Structure 1
Amino acid sequence: MSKQPTVAQRRLITAADPNTGLLRGSQALLDALCGQGLAVKHPRAPHRCYLTPAGLALRTELLTPPPDSPADPPPEVETFAARTGDEPARPDDPRRAREVAVAWEGLLELRRVTNRGITDQPCPWERAHLVSAAALALEAAGCSPAVAGEGGYRVGPAQQPEAVSVEWTGGAAEPAALGTAACATALEQAGWQVTEHPDGAGGRFLLASPRRA
């Protein structure tokens, strides 16, 4: 499991600007959040720090009141992570859709801040976290990650530089083709360049890379 933020770091996260994710605090705390992938520094001076999609999702969790069950301790807060299709099966969580939506909105804001106002192209954070960024784009578009016994997308590193591999696992050939096509559409709409290739076993897979201007 990822290292959990300290109490001081959580205070900083909850105090972030709710619209932009701008953080204000000591340099040590800001550097620590950047090191955990919860914040990112703007490349231009004065190099302010902003919450990443994971940081924004964690902020939402921290600000969400615990359920009315005083006999039970509040659940442990985990850092948000987009589902790549390699996670174990888990029960449906009604909060998941909201967490994904918050993370995606945060990513669009991160694009606006670090891409000079452009939101239809991946930003530097996405280029540095290709698998997580592609998985978030797919999940935010409503595509289903693979789970045991069911079809879904699986995102992983590709042999080509600056690219990810996306395959649709499980199910018959025709549903797999539909799933692959849906993933391609979702990634293209999110600003990725996508090509389809045979996998050598009668199936198809996608290569996706962040689109550049």
Structure 2
Amino acid sequence: MTRPPTAAQRRVIDTADPVTGRLRGTESQLAALVKRGLAFRHPRPPHDHFLTPAGHRIRETAAEAEAPPEPEAPAATAGVFTARVGGEEQAPKSGPARAREVHSAWQGLLELRRMTHPDGSTERPCGWERTHLVQAAALALEAAGHRPAGPDGADGYRVRATPQPEAVAVHEPSAEERRACAAALERAGWQTGEYAEPRTGTRYLLASPRRT
């Protein structure tokens, strides 16, 4: 069984960028994490180090173990960026501070795309987005200036998982806003289509990350 990381290595893992997994530490700490398969050194300059999937699992497991019980709806916790999917009972307030956080998270995600795509493209979603579909789509919408719905579910977008692989549903009460959300997602590298619920006739967007 693999030995758990040392306290110093855990500090490096725990302080990794929550979106990109970019690491900061001494050369010896980073080299030790690479040796253990918890980090990798990017081949292109500036040769930064990033968490591998195994490193992300350690970070996320620790965060879950230390976090206090939370309400069912997703919420933002201090120091960790959480995309607003719409309908949260507790959510970060809108304002300049939130706008800065969203901008920083979106720029970090574009950098992750650049670092992980062989051609360095930032025009299409990366692997992280494909494994965090709801959060990725919500971040793209919020970064484009769209407003998430409040707890009552009205007047804003709501992003929800679907049974379909690599697809999320985006609900907006207004046809005009649905079209605007579709345009924002397509600019962010997603493909969209509008559908209606069979029973209720409610219109919604089905969005999935574009591969090419």
Distance 1:87 1:48 in 2: 34
What residue number does 1:65 align with? none
Distance 2:165 2:13 in 1: 35
What residue number does 2:108 align with? 106
Q: 1:23 to 1:50 in 2, by over 3 A?
A: farther
Match of 2:177 among 171, 176, 179: 179
The question of 1:139 aligning with 2:142 is answered yes
CA contact (8 A) 2:42 2:50 kept: no
CA contact (8 A) 1:13 1:23 kept: no
Q: 1:192 to 1:92 in 2, by over 3 A?
A: closer
Unaligned runs of 5+ in 1: 1-5, 35-39, 56-75, 170-175
Deviations 1:154-207 (A, max 9, x none): 1111121111111114xxxxxx10111111011100000111101232321111
CA contact (8 A) 2:86 2:151 kept: no
The question of 1:152 aligning with 2:151 is answered no
What residue number does 2:85 align with? 84
Q: Secondary structure at the match of 2:149?
A: coil
> Number of aligned pairs?
169
| Identity among equivalent pairs (%) | 47
Deviation at 1:9, TM superposition (A): 5.1
Paired residue type of 1:81: T
The question of 1:206 aligning with 2:210 is answered no
Q: CA RMSD in A?
A: 3.6
The TM-score, its normalising length taken from structure 2, stands at: 0.66
Which ranges of 4 or more aligned residues in structure 1 deviate by more than 4 Å?
6-16, 40-44
The TM-score, its normalising length taken from structure 1, stands at: 0.66
Deviation at 1:209, TM superposition (A): 0.8
Paired residue type of 1:129: H
CA contact (8 A) 1:89 1:147 kept: no
Unaligned runs of 5+ in 2: 1-6, 57-76
